[in-house]
Structure 1
Amino acid sequence: MSNVTEHIHSYLEPLAQEGKFCGAILASHNGSILYSNGFGKANFELAVENTTKTKFRIGSITKTFTAVSVLQLVQKGKLNLDDPVSKYFPNQKDGDKITVHHLLTHTSGIPNYTDDPHMLEWSAQPSSPEKLIERFSQNDLEFPPGEQYKYSNSGYVLLGSILEQISGQSYELYLKEHIFEPLGMKDSGLDTPGCILDFRASGYHLSENGSLLNAPFFDPSNAYSAGAIISTIEDMHIWDQTLHTEKLLKKSFIDQMFTPVKGEHDYMYGYGWIIQDTPFGKLVAHSGGIPGFSSVLIRFLDNGVCVHVLSNILQDVSEIGKKIAEIIHQQNPAKSFS
């Protein structure tokens, strides 16, 4: 076992034993897997362990797939980033002022439909994309399009529907035919609760006193193209490695995807990715949170370091991902990890 592997395990094992982490983690450098392991239970009631094969809801990391899919349409000349939203949604309020670019970058001003305080009441039932869009299409914009950044799942729901309108396929089928199957991501897809799915993790959350509870039921159709994908750390490793190639997008589109537009606090947002400059070079990342699950994907473009963290407890795992990346960088990735 290499030093970096030992250090990562020494950091994670106490967290798992103390109940501070439950899930699966994979870390790599230039495509070589440095660490891959599962911790805690995929199902506490049945005493089933998490492994590298466990399937987790990845939440908003789904947006990275939606962004790539939309850019594929742009690359094929079927969609323009400057297209007004009104072209596809005549009933969207101020849709003539909002563009595809605004949707991708969270600069549309459309209110975030998941901020609805009553969401858990209606999200236990399935929703069509049309029904989701009805929930926000007539709401006033929070600011003029392009002037500010404010995270909005609503924009990514519209992007999924645009994808369906142009491709003539459902969002699920488009991902299957244009991303998952070509890449061999055999354990990824849109989560469908009614289907029997091998190695699916159950989701949990913590009560105010720290007790573990079953997460409230959430039908993932309510997350749609903003957060409905289920995957494994092994498939997410394939996703990371593909984005270093031109299998799905030409380099010019990949570079555009990772170009910062607007942001807040200490980060910027591009097309489906959070972007930061760090002492270790350019970082592109995304986190995810959905009832019962949390996740983070951290990629350092300049040195090939990547960390995937998928958890079946809804709690912030970003610091865990950052700490693992820090451990790797302390080993001087520009040289060797041995």
Structure 2
Amino acid sequence: MTLRPLLSLALLTAAPAAYAQALTPAETTQIDSLVTETLARTGAPSASVAIVRGSQIVFAKAYGKQSETMKAANADAPYQIASVSKQFTAAALLLLENEGKLSLDDKVSKYIPDITGGDTIALRQLLNHTSGLQDYWPQDYSFKAMATPVTPQGIVDRWAKKPLDFAPGAQWQYSNTGYVVAGMIVEKVSSESLLSYLDRKIFKPLGIKAIDQDLAVGPGYPQGYGRNALGPVRVATPAAHGWLFAAGELSMSARDLAKWNVARLNRAILPPEDWAAQETAVRLTDGSTNGYGLGVSTGNSNGRRYIEHSGEAVGFLSENIVFPDEKAAVTVLVNTWSGDAYQEIAQRIIKTVLPPPPADAADSAAMKKVRTIFDQLRDGTLDRGLLTEDADFYFTPVVLADFKASLAPLGKISDFTQMGKSRLRGGFVNRNFRVTFADRAVGISTYAEPGDGGRIEQFLVAQVQK
């Protein structure tokens, strides 16, 4: 998955134009303190952090509990980076284009048959999320089918043969499905597995050790965790094999991901024009853009350019931000998919702010429904008529008990606010909210069917910074 919607990316507000190479002892102490404090307060078991400054890796360290069996945090342990992997899939297609084996302007049907609109979807539209293919995993939890192994073709058969959500190029909608198709094309054209191609062309030349996240389990590997609302931290049950593939299949350490960030800053491995293509925001047919390029988000905050992507796998969250003009980057990987520890750690390293936009009438109506469900969950009740089949499946007796036990004691609500804009994903409307109490705040991440009477597909609660 990706672009964890609970909180928005925030960016540096002020900094010198050039950085010293090494961290000072005071900076190192401050980073140690803020990571340790954030883990303790949020309940996130561990974090792996890497910092690039002056196009060099100047810091790489792991903190906390990486699994039930690992006795000490290991900075070289591979975390599941999930959708941060998308930029590598995009790079693979760019490299194949350089080899003359395909063009990003080719249509999907040239390589993969029987995909809806395949004769109108260009390969680059798979990479910039404008294909119109419906996302197969918009939820921030494991839905029912994820208990069973799947193949890329299985995902394509179920989701890529539905009617398109829009004409290719007309809208932007995050689509893991599009990246699965892109990965299949890489394998067909290169005649090798996606991971093998990336290893040969990118990872080995950069000294990166990357493995399939489905295999990054067991002794010696970080274990994923989660929470139901503000309940106890529990070991997360991994999804069955195959559910991320080219949309997010990679596991690596923060240090190794930082090596890729250095390559981006130095324009190494890929030709400079390919880096530029990846970082060029897509324009829709109406001329608008949201800043997304080929597997990365781009933007400018307070005069500072950034290239960014986040990721979410079962039990893991990741944030990777590159500041090209400052020759700097920050990578934060955590082994929980609950809360905002990964973003807060990045924010406290970078010091960022991003104000929320005002809500419209539809958002106001949605907020009333969300508030109703939130109040029900605090009381231990739930009108299941407001839920889709998947959301009904999610709210087991254990989940309901965790929600009530952790939310009921929070007391009087002082503020209930939507964070950011609503957006379409996977056939649902995503909205996120912040609920403030006297001594803490929580975030609510929701997906709902479109329309006034749309049922709730996702309703997740996690602690956020007050």
**TM-score relative to the length of structure 1:** 0.88
Unpaired runs of at least 5, structure 1: 328-338
TM alignment of 1:243-322, pairs within 5 A:
243-262=264-283, 267-279=290-302, 281-315=304-338, 316=340, 317-322=342-347
Q: Is the 8 A contact 1:5 1:34 kept in 2?
A: no
| 1:8 matched residue in structure 2 | 31
Deviation at 1:19, TM superposition (A): 4.1
Distance 1:267 1:41 in 2: 37
Distance 2:349 2:298 in 1: 18
Deviation at 1:323, TM superposition (A): 2.5
| 2:220 matched residue in structure 1 | 199
Q: Is the 8 A contact 2:70 2:220 kept in 1?
A: no
314 and 113 in structure 1: CA distance in 2 versus 1, 3 angstrom threshold: same
Q: Is the 8 A contact 1:306 1:325 kept in 2?
A: no
TM alignment of 1:156-195, pairs within 5 A:
156-186=179-209, 188-193=210-215
Deviation string, structure 1 residues 134-156 (Cα, Å, up to 9, x no partner): 12122111111101111000110
SS in structure 1 opposite 2:74?
coil
Distance 2:344 2:41 in 1: 16
Amino acid of the structure 2 residue aligned with 1:114 = W
Distance 1:287 1:209 in 2: 23
323 and 170 in structure 1: CA distance in 2 versus 1, 3 angstrom threshold: same
Q: Which residue of 351, 357, 362 corresponds with 1:326?
A: 351
Distance 2:141 2:27 in 1: 45
Distance 1:266 1:99 in 2: 18
| 1:233 matched residue in structure 2 | 254
Distance 1:8 1:151 in 2: 33
Distance 2:141 2:41 in 1: 33
| 1:146 matched residue in structure 2 | 169
Question: How many residues get paired?
Answer: 323
Q: Is the 8 A contact 1:216 1:291 kept in 2?
A: yes
After superposing the two structures, state which structure 1 stretch, 298-307 or 33-42, moved more.
33-42
Amino acid of the structure 2 residue aligned with 1:32 = Q
Q: Identity of counterpart residues, as a percentage?
A: 29
Instruction: Determine whether 1:105 maps to 2:144.
Output: no
Q: Is the 8 A contact 1:294 1:312 kept in 2?
A: yes
| 2:376 matched residue in structure 1 | none
Distance 1:32 1:180 in 2: 17
Distance 1:101 1:164 in 2: 16
Deviation at 1:159, TM superposition (A): 0.6
SS in structure 2 opposite 1:132?
helix
Deviation at 1:244, TM superposition (A): 2.6
- Any runs of at least 4 consecutive aligned residues in structure 1 with deviations exceeding 6 A, and if so which? 195-198
Q: Is the 8 A contact 2:142 2:239 kept in 1?
A: no
Amino acid of the structure 2 residue aligned with 1:177 = R
SS in structure 2 opposite 1:222?
coil
Unpaired runs of at least 5, structure 2: 1-23, 353-466
Instruction: Determine whether 1:30 maps to 2:54.
Output: yes
Deviation at 1:47, TM superposition (A): 5.7
Structure index of larger Rg: 2
After superposing the two structures, state which structure 1 stretch, 45-54 or 68-77, moved more.
45-54
Distance 2:205 2:174 in 1: 30
SS in structure 1 opposite 2:265?
coil
**TM-score relative to the length of structure 2:** 0.65
| 1:216 matched residue in structure 2 | 237
50 and 262 in structure 1: CA distance in 2 versus 1, 3 angstrom threshold: farther
82 and 242 in structure 1: CA distance in 2 versus 1, 3 angstrom threshold: same
Deviation string, structure 1 residues 92-122 (Cα, Å, up to 9, x no partner): 1111111111111000111001137996332
262 and 198 in structure 1: CA distance in 2 versus 1, 3 angstrom threshold: farther
Deviation at 1:282, TM superposition (A): 1.1
Deviation at 1:50, TM superposition (A): 2.6
Instruction: Determine whether 1:121 maps to 2:144.
Output: yes
The Cα RMSD (Å) is 2.3
